[in-house]
Structures are given as structure tokens and as C-alpha cells.
Amino acid sequence: VVDDGVVGDLPGAAGLLPRKVARGTADFTRGPAMTREQALQALEGGIEVARDLVSAGNRCLVTGDMGIANTTPAAALVCAFTGADPARATGRGTGVDDATFEHKVDVVRRALAANPVDPADPIGTLAALGGLEHAALAGFVLGGAALRVPVLLDGVIAGSAALAAAAISPEALGACFAGHRSSEPGHSLALDHLGLRPLVDLELRLGEGSGALLALPLLQGAARVLRDVATFDDAGVSTAHA
């Protein structure tokens, strides 16, 4: 568990990594959510966590996140990186009513209007519209890809972070696998843009890595098939017809 930007001070605990960049992010309807320096620090923190996990012997990285209202900046990132309209990319998150949903779409529109981003500057886009967890997850993806370790992505937060990672380094996509398809509409837009096919599609609406974990046995099984199952040549099976 990595603290990238919880507002309060968390007591030390086993497995908790203090990587606090800032105490939350700024109001992105009035300007950038983060400074460029903050986004870079969170990116670098994600890269370091990936490096440390791989150095410890882990052969697959699984993304998870916990953030408050973070499907809203995720929708804004999806719009910025795919060109989608906010009404298509924004979902109901924890299940908001119609009035709150309309407000949420308006917030995404205002954020995009307040932050005219340059498609050629993905780090600037991430800083303007993302949360600290988005930046850290983007770094996590980049770190895993650089070390040639597969990264199994969770839902819409991870999908939007993967858009940023792919914009920073397109080669990183070669390490990414989509664990599942979230019910959040922005996730499907992100997966389509990235060209990733979800391993499971169970209409899940959750985070914390749980959807990706459901797909982990499929990824492990695929790797075992490639490594362990004999080919026709190995088994001496003739393909000639009598």
C-alpha cells in the first residue's frame, strides 16, 4: 500500500510505503490538479515501487488504487487522451443519482476547459487532469514495462493511467494486459484506444485491484501453456493426412 497523497498523516504500518507527494490535489476546474514537479515525483515513485517489487522476485505486477472521487479525473484523462466527449467518458462511479451524474459531467467539462492540454505533452496532461494515484500508476506501468514484467491492469483508474503511460512511452503497452472491463464507460474507451482486450467482463464496479486479481489465473495459465505444453513437433505428432 503506497501513500502518494493522502491528506492526513498515516501511522506507520507493515506494508505501508510512505511516498506522499502532496496532501491531495488542487481543484482542477480552476487550474492544474498538480504541478509538473508533483506529477514527475509521483511517476518516479511508481517506477521505484515496480522496480523494488521486481527486484524482490515478483514476476507479474497487478495495479490497484484507492482514491476519493477519482473516477472524475479518470474521465477527464480519458477525454484528453482519446478525444471522447465527457458525456460518453463519465460514469456513475459509486452509483450517483441522475442530478449528481449531470453535475459530474459538468465538472469534467469545466476541468477540460480550465486546462487546455497539449497532446504532445502527456506529463503535462497528467499533471493538469490526474490525481497523484493516476501518476503513480502510470509510473508503475512504465517501471514494469522497462523491466519486461507483465502489468495486469485493473479498472478505469488504471486504464486512464495506462493511457498516460502509453502516451509517454508507447512501447510500455507491450507489457500491459487488461484484467477486466469495468462498468465505467470511460474504461471501455480507454481499452479500445489502447487496443487491449479484457480477460474477463463481469460488469464489475470496484477498484483496489480486485478485478485484475480475478484475471491473474488466466494470465498465469497462458504463460504455462506457452512454456510447458508440447507442440506437435515436440510430441512427434504428424500433421500429414493418410
Active site amino acids = 208
Amino acid at 33: A
Question: 128: closest CA among 145, 142, 110?
Answer: 110
**Is the CA virtual torsion 72, 73, 74, 78 positive or negative?**
positive
Q: What angle do CA 23, 24, 25 make, to 5 degrees?
A: 125
Element (H, E) at 18: strand 17-18
- In order of 17, 44, 60, 203, the CA distances from 36 in angstroms are 22, 12, 29, 35
Q: How many residues does the chain have?
A: 242
How far is Cα 165 from Cα 150, in angstroms, rounded to an integer?
Answer: 14
β-strand partners of 151:
61, 176
Q: From start to end of 175-235, where are the E strands? A: 176-178, 180-182, 200-204
Lookup: cell for 115 = 486546462
